[in-house]
Amino acid sequence: MKFFKFVSIANRSISIFEKIIPIIIVIMLIIICFVFRKKVIENDNNRNIKRLLFYMFVVTFILDYIFTYSQFGVHIDNLPLELCSLGAICSMIALKNNNLKIIYFLEVIFLPAAFMAMVAPVTGGSYKYLQYYLFMINHGLTIFIPSYYIFAEKILPNVKQIFVSILILIVVAIVMCIFNTIFKTSYMFISLVKNPFSVGIIGSLGEPPLYIIKLTILGITILSLWGAVLLIIKYIINKIDDKNKKVSQII
């Protein structure tokens, strides 16, 4: 059936509504978690929500690669090594063991990466195809899960943890750059061979070696700004908590 056919996402157009609607749904879910966070983090509710998110992610992630490999086979250029695929794997691990280092890494690195992927010009094909739904659900979960930890459980990184997360990403990027250069792949869009994009912001960065330098500066700048936003969110949440404690003590 045509619905199950997977093709390169560059070969399908997507409307503005197909991009915006999933983002709106994710934002609404995040707002609900924040507004009803006390109810959400009750032991049974928290445990059940994480269990549901975990199994949803496992099913959609596996289905995505089952359909990809069944139609294109397993190749060196379609392994789960994209940044958002690594984010999906880390999200599933975090849901199972609540590892703080992984949670911080999700919040600092994978949350903005998944968001940018969802608002990119081409994001997984039309709603007429299963590929679109798997793409949006996987990336939506990669945004929602760290947001859940931020707004429901109030787990946020400090300056040191933000710095360490960015440093780890740089190390991973160096490894992927070497891998891409050897095997002529384009994971994480970084390679010493050529710029994998000819258009868009990344395409405008030119060719290696300047491309690598510009991409690194751009990435560090974006993540540093996002890290500052996380620190502001942490400050605001702490202020709200302090205010609520004072009110409860007065009552």
Contact between residue 92 and residue 169 where contact means Cβ atoms under 8 Å apart: no
109 and 223 in contact (C-beta within 8 Å)?
Answer: yes
Residues 50-84 pLDDT 10s? 999 999 999 999 999 999 899 889 999 899 999 88
Q: Which whole number is the average pLDDT over 164-177?
A: 95
How much is the mean pLDDT over the chain?
A: 88
pLDDT at 44 over 80: yes
pLDDT confidence of residue 122? 52
Q: What is the 3-state secondary structure (H, E, C) of 199-222?
A: CHHHHCCCCCCHHHHHHHHHHHHH
**Rounded Cα–Cα distance for residues 77 and 14 (Å):** 24
Q: When comparing pLDDT for 8 and 238, which is higher?
A: 238
| Cis preceding linkage at 196, omega within 30 | no
pLDDT of residue 198: 61
The pLDDT of 35-58, averaged and rounded, is 90
Q: What is the Cα–Cα distance from 219 to 231, expressed in whole angstroms?
A: 18
pLDDT band at 125 (very low <50, low <70, confident <90, very high): low
Looking at the predicted structure, is the pLDDT value of residue 149 above 60?
yes
The model carries a pTM of: 0.90
- Rounded distance, CA 55 to CA 50, Å? 9
pLDDT-wise least confident of 46-50, 77-81, 198-202, 243-247: 198-202
The pLDDT confidence band at residue 126, using thresholds 50, 70 and 90, is confident
Mean pLDDT on 99-119: 94
Domain assignments of the chain as residue spans, ordered by start: 1-155, 157-251
